[in-house]
Structure formats: C-alpha cells, structure tokens
Amino acid sequence: MENFQIILYFGRPAAGKSEVIDYLKKTSTVERKKRFHIGHFTCLDDFNLLWKKGEEDDILEELGKQRRYTLTHHTGYAVKDDFLYKILVKELSALYMKTKYNKEDTTFIEFSRSGETGYRDSLELLDPEILKKAVIVYINVSFEESKRKNLRRYSVDEKGSILKHSVPEEIMNKYRIDDWNGLTRENPDYVEIKGIKIPCAEFKNEPEITDKPEALGKELERALTRLKNTCEKIL
C-alpha cells in the first residue's frame, strides 16, 4: 500500500482537523505522497450533512411542518435528537460505498463523537468494506482546548463553513467525555471492530501547532509514518 485509501478522521470539535486538511490541500501531490502517503484526496464530513439537514428543516418549518432533525441556533443549527448522529454515519458510509474511487486516492471520512461509546458505536455502523480499507487518525486535544478553539474560530458571516463554524455550547459540553482512550487502552496501534483491526495513530495538537505550517507538517509526518509502519505489521 503506497497511499492510505480511507482515513477515518476523528477528534473533538475545533481540535484542528480542518486546519490539517487545509494544509494538505496546499501541499503538492508529490510531497503529500512522499511524506504523508496521501494522494489525490476527498473529504466526507458529516458537518456538511448536518447543515443540509438544518436547511431541509428550515423548509419544513416554512411550510408549516415540524423540524425533524435540528433546532435553529445563533451559530447555525443544533442537533435535536442524538439519533441523528447515527443517521449521519450511515449516510457517510453509503456515500463512500456508492462512489467509485481510484485505489491510489485517499478519502477522509470525518466526524466527532462524544460519550462513553460514541466512536465505537459509530464505527460499528460503517460498512465492513470501509473498515477493512481504513486507518484512523485522531487529533488529540483536551476538552478545555477544544472548547477554547471552538469559541475562537466562530465567524457569524461564515458559520456554515468548515473552518469557521462553531458547535453550540450545550452540545459542546458533551465532548468533555469521548471514548478514544478507552478504544486504544489495550493496544494503541489499532482499534478492533467486528473482528477487523483498524490501524490508528494520534496527531498531537496541544500546545497548538496547526497554526504553524512547519510544525504541523513534522507532526503529521511523524503520525502518518508510524501509522504506515503499523499497517505493514498488522494488515
């Protein structure tokens, strides 16, 4: 395997996931392949799906019907029922499975999940064919750092954008707990779901380095080199 085919891309809101993607977009294909094992890449992000649900709810409300999935919020939309998170993962899974990708390409499947079983529950909803081809990258920051950056990045004029949106405070507070440490406690090199070992690695972004391109590149190279070595050992 020269390039990663699927990167399941996790981390608390505002951890720095979008900044890393932005950095990769600005990096030449030759350098991306050599340093990061990422070729031409696309991103499937459940934030875009959530925003679409919010817009659909706006239409329903305008037509005199009840909103189905979201509540309006000054930052954009808030999740009405946590069951929506399961729907979004299934939509991401279906979107990947119906798209034809070149084996040399890389697809990021990105989402954040909170709670004691949030990531495990979500991983179990993905198609097994995705799990077999996937690796996991987790952007590691504390809840306090995530909350600070979530407030900092918000722009009212760009609240529907990947880089400038903000999670509502009442939802943000749920991310005090996530299950990443539990998933990797037995073995930091992989997560096992449905009998499938998914290689994983952490990108450490505290103190923050995603605003420092050179440091970002070094940490990303470290994490993905380790990840590729893990793939060669267990796949």
Could you tell me the sign of the dihedral formed by the alpha carbons of 195, 199, 202, 203, in that order? Answer: negative
Q: pLDDT at position 160, please?
A: 63
Question: In this predicted model, what pLDDT tens digit does every residue of 190-232 receive, in sequence order?
Answer: 999 999 999 999 999 999 999 999 999 999 999 999 999 999 9
Question: Which value, to the nearest 10 degrees, does the dihedral of the CA atoms of residues 100, 105, 111, 112 take?
Answer: 160
Q: Which residues contact 84 (CB under 8 A, 6 or more apart)?
A: 50, 53, 69, 70
- Contact of 152 with 23, CB cutoff 8 Å: no
Write down all domains in the chain, each with its CATH number in brackets.
6-234 (3.40.50.300)
Residues 151-179, mean pLDDT to the nearest whole number:
81
- The secondary structure of residue 101, as a DSSP letter, is -
Give the burial class of 73: count Cβ atoms within 10 A of its Cβ; 0-12 exposed, 13-18 middle, 19 or more buried: middle
Q: pLDDT at position 153, please?
A: 74
Residue 163 confidence class, pLDDT cut points 50, 70, 90: low
Residue 144 confidence class, pLDDT cut points 50, 70, 90: very high
27-32's contacts with Cβ under 8 Å and 24+ in sequence apart are 27/217
Question: Which value, to the nearest 10 degrees, does the dihedral of the CA atoms of residues 37, 179, 153, 82 take?
Answer: 120
